[in-house]
Structure 1
Amino acid sequence: MIDGYDLPDEAPGEYIPLREDRGLAKAYRPNPLPPKLAVSSEIVEELTSAAYALGQLDGVAGEVEQRNAIFSSFVYKEAEQSSQIEGTRVTVSDIRRYEMGADKIEQLEASEDELDDIREAKNYIQALSEGISHFNEVGRSWKNIDQSLLKSIHETLMVGGRTDEDDLMPGEFRYDHGDFVVIKEEESWKKPIRFVPPKPNMAHADLDALIEYIQSGGDYPTLIDIALIHYQFETIHPFRDGNGRVGRLLIILLLISGDTLAHPVLYLSSYFRQFRDQYTDLLLNVSEKGVWEEWILFFLTGIRRQAEEAFVRAKLLLVLRDRYKTTYATAPTSVSRLTEGLISKPYFSVNEAAEMMGMTYQSASNAIEQLVADGRVRQFNDQRRNRIFEAIDVTAIIEYDYAQLPEPRDVVDRDTVDLPLDIGP
């Protein structure tokens, strides 16, 4: 945050003086959307590439009958990465085990705080599911995004988790309670305060204006509008806590409700986490300098990159599924059925495997033993009872190093794709 109140004419907002007895000198108030943008050729090029990558990713859905079977792991990956941006060490396996009933500290080998973090990550998945259900019920349109939806998402996200605040106020806007929010620098050697969002009464009007812009359908191409909306939401900071998680989840809901993406398969939080400092610096540069182009290019690059990455991982999962069908074509029915379910449920108990296969507990247990012997499955915990198993190949594809993944053009035709050497039978 710069010293003083003077901002250049290009800045899309202004600093407002605050009471010194609060220890705060000023708060930033953004102008309503839309800003006047000069859409450069670089933005047009990146916009085209991002839109193509999203279309390619959506097209993978046409290659599978049970789409959730392929894409469910991506939702968990987004929840993991969004949680880690907040400073946790939650992993996909933690969330999966928690869902399976390993909700005690000794079962997860976690502290009480870590268990709260896992609950928050699980809440992210639930909030996303509820948001999508909302649009399935009332229609996929930006017209159906309002304050009530944001409050409902926030309530689901924040209940039962951990935060630095004593009172989460889940599902309540901070301006209803006259609360100020201060965003501090993480590094102690910098100035302690990085940014102060609008005063409570101003935040109310600013959020109303943002919702009005969203419901109008926006003024720019969809992906550019979403970049603008994300900046505006994070700048307004309407909640006391959890704004980052709501803002990242809102990106996915905007893509889905705008029919830009059919399924929640984009884990953009991974990109924001990897380039976190650049992300926060660019948002501040928009506020203080009006540097929209750099922010929009950064955002579009993230959309393209993550869409390409998700496309490649989805294709590799389909190749793995095909490889399993070939390898276990003559295996006992229990084994082939189990391999069919591994992609949609890479962590499972014997009882869950039996239910997934539609067979007896003993048949499931025998099939698991076979796949353990083949190196396709391993026991994830050390318990004799309530054993949890992991589909090694599936989780390896989801976690495979981004830099080592094939290029999207190399996985278009599944029949010619080779899995990485250490994955698959």
Structure 2
Amino acid sequence: LPNPDLFVFMYVRREATLSSQIEGMQASLMDLLEYEAEAAQPERPLDVEEIANYVAAMNLGLRRLEELPVSLRLVREIHGRLLRDVRGSERTPGDFRRSQNWIGPPGSTLANATFVPPPVEEMRGSLGQWERFLHDDEPMPTLIKVGVAHAQFETIHPFLDGNGRVGRLLIPYLSLFSED
């Protein structure tokens, strides 16, 4: 590659856009680039700030991984950055949930949810087991470990909002900074 930094710059933004679109956001990569260049038009999608926060959370995580391993502390930090000053910012950014959550179509309840993550008490124990798994010395191919860790994180669903995006942020962190 003639300029790997430019590739990484664009890759992170493309990943942020696609990951956010999974969550229903409408902003495009071009919207994000215009926003970052401060050339954004007034009619731009409002959720471009959320995509910009994803980029900032990715970069925060990469910087922090120079000092500490993938950990619950890091997960809380990137979650806090991801939800700063955007939709969901009232949902305790950077803090693990203290109430039951569930996944389902709009209007669903705990009783008819598609998926119900573990209750708060079990969630705490599950997070501890998840973190121990990340640093377990048992040999395992990186791709398998990353896949299992991602699936476990999404199943635990430790935040009131932003779990999918945080889980997708963890994939490159775990891949790049695996201990094997």
- TM (normalized to structure 2)? 0.90
Alignment of 1:80-229 (within 5 A): 80-102=17-39, 107-110=41-44, 114-115=45-46, 117-138=47-68, 144-163=69-88, 167-174=90-97, 177=98, 179-185=99-105, 192-217=112-137, 219-229=139-149
Query: What is the distance in 2 between the residues matched to 1:218 and 1:170?
Result: 33
How far did residue 97 of structure 1 move? 1.0
Q: Alignment partner for residue 77 of structure 1, among 14, 17, 21?
A: 14
Distance 1:217 1:79, change over 3 A: farther
Report which of the two structures shows the higher radius of gyration computed on alpha carbons.
1
For 2:113, give the aligned amino acid.
Answer: I
Q: Distance in 2 between matches of 1:218 and 1:249?
A: 24
| Counterpart secondary structure, 2:114 | strand
Asked whether the equivalents of residues 218 and 225 of structure 1 are also in contact (C-alpha less than 8 Å), the reply is no
Q: 1:218: Cα distance to partner?
A: 5.2
Identify if the C-alpha distance between structure 1 residues 89 and 238 changes in structure 2 by more than 3 Å, giving closer, same or farther: same
Runs of 4+ in 1 over 6 A off after TM superposition: none
Cα distance change on mapping 1:93 and 1:211 into 2, 3 Å:
same
CA distance in 1, matches of 2:113, 2:7: 43
What pairs with 1:181-330 in structure 2 (closer than 5 Å)?
Answer: 181-185=101-105, 192-217=112-137, 219-258=139-178
- Aligned AA for 1:257? F
Unaligned runs of 5+ in 1: 1-62, 139-143, 261-425
Contact 1:131 1:153 in 2 (8 A): yes
CA deviation digits over 1:160-202, x for unaligned, max 9? 2214xx822010000xx3x11010047x9xx941011000011
d(CA) in 2 for partners of 1:126 and 1:136?
16
* Secondary structure of residue in 2 paired with 1:193: coil
- Compute the RMSD of aligned alpha carbons: 2.2
- Do the aligned residues in 1 keep the contact of 2:103 with 2:116 (CA within 8 Å)? yes
Report deviation, 1:246: 0.3
- Is residue 219–residue 225 contact of structure 1 (8 Å, CA) maintained in 2? no
Greater fraction of residues in strand: 1
Structure with the bigger percentage of helix: 1
Q: Residue 97 of structure 1: SS of its match in structure 2? A: helix
Maintained 8 Å contact 1:102/1:108:
no
- TM-score, structure 1 length as denominator? 0.39
